[in-house]
Amino acid sequence: MAVDPDQRHANLREANERLVLAALSAQQLQAAAERAQQEQAEFLAAVAHELSSPMAPFRLATAMLGRAQTDEPLLPRVQALIDRHLELVQRLVGAVSQVTGAGSRTTGSEAPQAALAPVVHAAAAACQPMLDTQQQTLSLSLPVETVQVAARADDLQQILFNLLDNASKYSTDHREIRLCAQVQGPAVVVTVADDGIGITAQALPGIFEPFVQDSRAFGFNGMGVGIGLTAVRALTEAMGGQIVASSAGRGCGSRFVLTLPLVTTPVSPAGASDAAGTAS
């Protein structure tokens, strides 16, 4: 049976279109794979660089320990040096784990929940050594009622720690950092604000992307791999929340607004008015 020439032409054209689409899809997949490989290489290089930074102090501490028998006052200094830089390594490893594992959290049969005030105070206490080093002040303003947030306490503490740590790192000495939490309808809104170097309009849209830092942030304090805020976004979204950054620009500080769902309507307990305070 003879095939109609027009039908044959249509079949060939359709086959050609499929081949073109298949080729384009293959190219797109290859390009995506190459981008992912490049991002992975950059990630590993950045992590390797950050992990190598504390090595020199560790070597110095080892050398100092060799003199400890003849210079006993060295021991507390060596211990403090090791503890400080081990904390830096631990924070880096923790940030990497947060970015890569936030989406695969398992919570069991019960939805997670955490009391806001104790978590805030725990995050503030964890940041206190850095605040003291830079003679910065942390001001806390919390609801007087008991607020239960739909979040894992450890994850929420890490989010708040990262935000406070970021504010401290990019603020000069003697500055104030402010954390304010308010209940707004079915959610709690936590704002972390500082008077630091600010975020430029060019850097703001990608501030939560991995390894993205404002060009003025590089070398400002010699710290950070650029994944702390990425971890904040990953953990927040895993909780069903939202994080938004804003800044008026260079030298105008920055604001990070964290919105998380409440578990229940807050209840005002007796004596809860001491939830707000100031740390310095």
Q: pLDDT tens digits, residue range 220-263?
A: 454 555 678 888 998 999 899 999 999 988 889 999 999 999 98
- Where is pLDDT greater, at 125 or 98? 125
Query: Do 150 and 90 lie in a common domain?
Result: no
Pairing mode, strands 176-184 and 187-194: antiparallel
Q: Compare 97 and 241 and report the one with higher pLDDT.
A: 241
Instruction: Yes or no: say if 153 and 121 are a contact pair by the CB < 8 Å rule.
Output: no
- Output the DSSP codes for the chain: -PPPHHHHHHHHHHHHHHHHHHHHHHHHHHHHHHHHHHHHHHHHHHHHHHHHTTHHHHHHHHHHHTTTTT-TTHHHHHHHHHHHHHHHHHHHHHHHHHHHHGGG----SSPP-EEHHHHHHHHHHHHHHHHHHTT-EEEEE--SSB-EESS-HHHHHHHHHHHHHHHHHTS-TT-EEEEEEEEETTEEEEEEEE-SS---TTTGGGTTSTT---TTTTTTSS---S-HHHHHHHHHHHTT-EEEEE--STTS-EEEEEEEEBSS--B--TTGGGG-EEE-
Higher pLDDT, 159 or 63: 159
Average predicted confidence (pLDDT) for the chain: 78
Report if residue 177 sits inside a domain.
yes
- Say if residue 156's pLDDT is above 60: yes
264 assigned to some structural domain = yes
What is the average per-residue pLDDT within 36-54? 65
- pLDDT for 219 equals 47
pLDDT of residue 244: 97
- How large is the average pLDDT for residues 135-162? 93
Q: Is residue 245 part of a domain?
A: yes
Which pLDDT value is given to residue 273?
40
Q: Could you report the per-residue pLDDT of 169-179, keeping only the tens digit for each?
A: 899 999 999 99
Model confidence at 111, pLDDT cuts 50, 70, 90, reads confident
Q: Of 82, 103, 124, at which residue does a domain stop?
A: 103
Same domain membership, residue 248 and residue 213: yes
Q: How confident is residue 56, by pLDDT bands cut at 50, 70 and 90? A: low
165 in Cβ contact with 177 (< 8 Å): no
Last residue of a domain, one of 103, 135, 168: 103
State the pLDDT at residue 112: 84
Do 94 and 191 lie in one domain? The reply is no
pLDDT for the residue 148: 95
Give me the mean pLDDT over the 144-158 stretch: 92
Report the C-alpha gap between 166 and 185 in whole angstroms: 28
Single out the residue in 103, 131, 165 at which a domain terminates: 103
Considering the domain architecture, whether residues 98 and 121 belong to the same structural domain is answered as no
Tell me how far the alpha carbon of residue 167 is from its chain's centroid: 12
Mean pLDDT confidence for 53-79: 66
Is residue 49 a part of any domain in this protein?
no
Q: Strands 187-194 and 242-246: what pairing?
A: unpaired
pLDDT tier at 67, thresholds 50, 70, 90 = low
166 with 258, same domain?
Answer: yes
One domain for residues 124 and 248: yes
Q: Which residue has the tokens 């720690």?
A: 161
Residues 208 and 126 in one domain: yes
- Both 216 and 95 in a single domain? no
> Which residue is listed with tokens 């003879």?
2
Q: What is the mean pLDDT of residues 137-145?
A: 95
Residue span of the structural domain in which 173 resides? 113-279
Specify if 30 maps to a domain.
Answer: no
Q: Do residues 169 and 236 both lie within one domain?
A: yes
| CATH code of the domain containing 270 | 3.30.565.10
Distances in whole angstroms, Cα of residue 263 to Cα of each of 15, 34, 60, 117: 56, 43, 49, 14
Asked if residue 28 belongs to a domain, the reply is no
What is the rounded average pLDDT of the residues 213-219? 51
Please write the tens of the pLDDT for every residue from 2-25: 657 777 777 777 777 777 777 777
pLDDT at 272: 43
Instruction: Tell me if 242 is assigned to some domain.
Output: yes
Residue 42 predicted with pLDDT over 50: yes
Position 29 scores a pLDDT of: 73
User: Percentage of the chain surpassing pLDDT 90?
Assistant: 32
Q: What is the pLDDT of residue 30?
A: 76
Structural tokens at position 147: 């607020």
Residue 167 half-sphere exposure, CB side, CA atoms within 13 Å? 33
Question: Is pLDDT of 107 > 60?
Answer: no
Together in a domain, 67 and 168 = no
What is the pLDDT averaged over residues 68-88? 67
Q: Are residues 82 and 190 in the same domain?
A: no
**Domain contains 4:** no
Identify whether residues 62 and 132 lie together within a single domain.
Answer: no
8 A C-beta contact, residue 171 and residue 6: no
